[in-house]
Each structure stands twice: as C-alpha cells, then as structure tokens.
C-alpha cells in the first residue's frame, strides 16, 4: 500500500527565517502504520546544502516527508535508521523518483547525525 498524508498547512515564522510552524495536526498512514506530527511543531523542512538546492527542493514533493522526518528525529521516535527508512518510504509515497529518494536517504544517513541526539 502506498502511504497517504493528510493536508499539511505551514505558517512562515517571521522571527526564525527559513523555519515554519505546522498549523494543524498532519498524519501519514501506510497500512497499519500511522504517524502524526502535532500542530505547533517547528521545522526547517529539508536541510539541503546550498550546492545541491538546484537539484533537490525543500518545497517540492519532499516537503511533507521532511516535516515527518524532522519530527521523528526531534522526538527521538526510534533509531535514526528507522526514521531515515520511513523518510525514504514517505518520499516514494509522494512519487519522488526512486533515484532521488535514494539520494535524500543517503543525505540523511550521512548527515542526519548532526541533528539527532543519537
């Protein structure tokens, strides 16, 4: 089953440039797996190095998976590997091409340790 997302609404945070606040709870459902990011959660979406931004957008179809991934990391939901695995699955749910989902995945595997507490 391909996962589905409820609607994501974000507010721009004027006091924190580049950051957004989730307006309403947003949920991802994939079979018997459900994950909800609560309203009020703050995210920078995807932390993409400047030299890669022409190829990987933080505001395209990766936006919803990025919010979930940030919340999973920030809440120490499970291991980094588990969070990264679900990020890749969510990217594919958003019809991100497999090669690009793999690149995002490798990016968080290689650099995600700087964000998490593990």
49 or 11, which is more confident?
A: 11
Average pLDDT over residues 42-55: 83
90 pLDDT more than 90? yes
Strand partners, 5: 28
At residue 71, the pLDDT reads 97
Q: What is the reported pLDDT for 1? A: 54
Q: What value does the mean pLDDT of the chain take?
A: 90
Full-model pTM: 0.89
Q: What are the two backbone dihedrals, phi and then psi, of residue 35, each rounded to the nearest 5 degrees?
A: -140, 135
**Contact predicate 3/29, CB 8 Å:** yes
How many CA within 13 A on the CB side of residue 44? 11
Q: In whole angstroms, what is the distance from residue 7 CA to residue 98 CA?
A: 23
């Amino acid at each position: 089953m391909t996962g589905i997302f409820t609607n994501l609404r974000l507010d721009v945070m004027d006091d924190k440039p580049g950051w957004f606040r989730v307006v309403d709870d947003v949920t991802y459902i994939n079979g018997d797996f459900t994950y909800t990011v609560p309203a009020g959660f703050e995210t920078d979406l995807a932390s993409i190095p400047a030299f890669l931004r022409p190829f990987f957008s933080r505001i395209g179809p990766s936006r919803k998976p990025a919010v979930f991934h940030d919340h999973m990391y920030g809440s120490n939901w499970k291991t980094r590997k588990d969070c990264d695995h679900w990020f890749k699955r969510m990217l594919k749910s958003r019809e991100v091409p497999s090669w690009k989902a793999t690149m995002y995945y490798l990016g968080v595997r290689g650099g995600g340790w700087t964000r998490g507490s593990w």
